[in-house]
Each structure stands twice: as C-alpha cells, then as structure tokens.
Amino acid sequence: MHEKVSIRSALKSLFLNGKNGDRHKSMLNDPLRKLIPRVALPSIISMLVGAIYSMADTFFVGKLGNSATGAVGIVFPIMNLLQALSFIFAHGTSSYVSRLLGMGETERASRTVNTALVLAILTGVLYGTFGLAFLNPILRLFGSTETILPFAADYGIYIYIASPVFAASYVLNNSLRAEGSTMLSLAGMLSGALLNIVLDPICIFLLKMGVGGAGFATMIGQLVGFLVLLSFYLKKTGRLSCLKLSLKLFTPRGGIIRELIRIGFPSFVRMGMGSVGIVLLNAQAAPYGDAAIAAFSIVGRTLFLVGAVLIGYGQGYQPISGYNYGAGRYDRVREAFRFTLITSVALMFICAALFIVFAPNIIGIFRDDTEVISIGAAALRWQSYCLPIMGASLIFSMFFQSTGHAFPAFVSALARQGLFFIPLVLLLPRLFGLFGLIASQPASDVLAFLLILPLAVRAYKGLEKGPKTDGRLLEDIS
C-alpha cells in the first residue's frame, strides 16, 4: 500500500508540480518569466508532436504521388472545421475554467468541463454523420479534382468516423491546460500522436491500405489519446486532475453555455474561416494542376508546425493570464502579456529567417518534384516575411480570450482569414495569376495586424480599470 501511495505521489509531482493548492499559489505568485515557459513547455511539445504526426501523414502519403499528396490538403479543412466546432467548447472551457479556478470556484469549473464535454461529443456525432452521408460532394466542394477524389475519400472517411473522439479530446486537453496540468495534457497527446506516427507506414505500405491507411492510423491514435486523457479525470482515488468528470455534473444551463459560446465562438470563427480559406486556396490552385495543390498543402503543413509552437506557447500563457484575471491580479496579467508577446515575435523572426533561406530544401523533403518545389518555395518565402506580425496577432487574440474580451477576440479571429484572405484569394489571382495566389496570405496578415493592433492597445490599457470580480462567471451555474 505504501508503495502505491509513493508511486501516486511521484506521478502528482511529475505531472502537477505539486498539490492543487500549491499549483494555485504558483499560478498567482511565481515569477512570470519562469512560470510561463514552465507551463508552456508541455503545451509546445504537445502541439509540436501533433504537427509532426500531421506532417508524417503528408510525408508518407507523398511517396504515393502528387494526387495522394493533394488529398491530404483537401481533407485538411475537414479536420480544421471539426476543430473549429470543437473549439467553441474547448477554448470556451479553457478561458472559463482558468478564471473560475482563479476565483477558487473548483466545483463550478467541474460543472463547466462536464457540460462542454457532452456538448462537444454531440457536435462530433452530428458532424461525422453528415460528413459520411455526403462525403464525395463535400470533397468536391473543398477543391478536390477527379484524380484526387478517390484518395481524399479513402482518407476522409476515417476522420469523420473519429469526429466525436476528436471533439472530446480537445475539451479534455484544454481543460487540463486551464488548471495548469500541462504535463497531463502532453501525456494524452503524446500517447496518441506517437502511435499515429508508428502506424502510418505500417498501414499505408505494409497493410497496403494506401492513403486510407493514414486516415486509419489517425483515427486509432486519436482514440488511444482520448482514453489516456479520460483516465486522468475518472480515478476514484488519486485522481490526477483537480476537476471531476461525472454525468451528474452535466449542467446545461444558460450561464455556462452562454459563457462557453461567448468566449469559444471566436476560435470557431478563426478555425472556420481557416477551413474556408484552404478550400478557396485549393480551388484557386486547381487550374495550375495537382502539383500546385500539393505545393500549397506542403506549405500549409510546414507553417502549421511553426504555428503549433506559437499556439503551444500561447496555451501556456493563457491559463496564467486567466487565473490572474479571475483573481484580480491585473499587474500580472499585463506583465504576462508583454513577456509572451516579445518572446513570441522574436521566435517568429528566427523561424522566418530559416524558412526564407532553406525553403526549397524544406519543400523537397516532402516531394521530389521540380514544379512542386518551385511553387512551394516561393509560397513559403512570401508567407515567412509576415510570420512576426502573424505571431503578434495570434498572441493578441489569446490575450482577448483569456481575459474575457469577447468582441475584440471575435474581430481578431475573423480578420486574418475572413475579412481579408477570402476576398484577396479570389481577387489577386485574377489580377496577377499564380503570384497573386501566393501573395494572398501575406497580404491578409499585414491588413489583419493593422486592424487588431489598436484593439489590443485599448484592451491592455483598460486592465487598469478592470473589476475585481466578474459576476457573469457565477451566473446561473450554482
């Protein structure tokens, strides 16, 4: 018995950095220059692994030809749209729970997580059912050519089947990050992602499943990751999460649902517009052939890797910001924002320099095709020029969400892919051909930054007059 207790204590020390009370004090008192990187590191690793296994699909499928590689790009917005719907509940949970925990409202935080989880699973079931019923029309709508369609269908069917598991995992992951248990979130992510990477070549080549093997491996990896995450909440004794899962805590009341949607909806807009943007990009690239679609698919996955690092870093910052905002520690909220913004922009400058110099080599890793490399290298370089301001815009958006600034969060989510990219990707290729298509994203990044910057300055200055408590958080959820 003593041995079991020791093992349990060791696990808590490893994953939680101490008891729940110690973690609460740490979030409110530890030096931010040490706290943010410490909390962010597991999230960065988690996001990186997720991006790598996403790129692994592209790498292994790339061995099957341009049409197969293009299929991964066609299915990517399907996964993005699923993420967008799930993030209404996942990111709403993250912001809401961190602020509640900062106020010491642990039971209310548990009710929020249970409510968000059930709603996310139901959303995933509806999304998957609709996708399976209209698979081929959806793939054509998303820009698939007739040569790519069979490969995209083989891959996409498994994504739709796994939709409820995807949605549930996003909520559990973000809930763990909200309470500061980023190591637990990492463990769940790693277990599924590493399995996915191992299964990719086995399913694609050894079992001769082709592109469908990549989709099957993704489905199995997601299922295993979800079960690992679930185990952290369900233990009757020695539960690793400070929050509890139980259907008895499912509380579908207006206060919880309104706050989840109010804060999570900007994430839906951002991801949803990203999916629409990818669909339009594929459609605009189609006249230039499968090589162009494959090139933009590779560029998208490559930049997703950088975005994963930035998002992971921001996910370490968000719960700290939310905790301190809920506790009325606005001095720490401001300091955390400044530190995260400066370090994020510096990181994006470094990544931009590397991509600009080594763009052809990076594209060549995935596809040894002269046309794909030529188009992909040009697109990667142009988008890299704007990585620093794109990074700043993302941190602005995370600042808005973590502090409950719903309207600025909505505007920042809509700006990059909705307000600017969609019209530009439709207009610029008509005026400048392929170069116009390549320039659409960097141009939208510049315009989005100019729109979001004054909103961030205003919200930052407004923290000096912020209320000590947010009564809306406790409305209708007792």
Per-residue pLDDT at 362 exceeds 50: yes
HSE-CB at 390 with a 13 A cutoff on CA atoms is 26
Per-residue pLDDT at 165 exceeds 90: yes
Whole-number pLDDT of residue 414 = 84
Both tokens assigned to 136? 């081929």
- Assign 237 a pLDDT band (cuts: 50, 70, 90): low
- Assign 21 a pLDDT band (cuts: 50, 70, 90): low
Place of tokens 């943007």: 277
HSE-CB at 90 with a 13 A cutoff on CA atoms is 27
Query: Do residues 61 and 204 touch, judged by C-beta distance below 8 A?
Result: yes
- Assign 217 a pLDDT band (cuts: 50, 70, 90): very high
HSE-CB at 259 with a 13 A cutoff on CA atoms is 31
- Assign 272 a pLDDT band (cuts: 50, 70, 90): confident
Spatial separation of the C-alpha atoms in residues 249 and 90, rounded to whole Å: 17
| Residue 204: DSSP 8-state | I
Burial of 331 (0-12, 13-18, 19+ CB in 10 A): exposed
Both tokens assigned to 139? 């793939």
Give this prediction's pTM: 0.71
Spatial separation of the C-alpha atoms in residues 401 and 95, rounded to whole Å: 6
Report the C-alpha dihedral over residues 405, 411, 417, 421, rounded to 10 degrees.
-150
**At 377, which amino acid appears?**
A
Both tokens assigned to 185? 């979130």
Cα 124 to the center of its chain, rounded Å: 16
Residue 175 Ramachandran class (φ > 0 left, ψ -120 to 50 alpha, else beta): alpha
Cα 90 to the center of its chain, rounded Å: 10
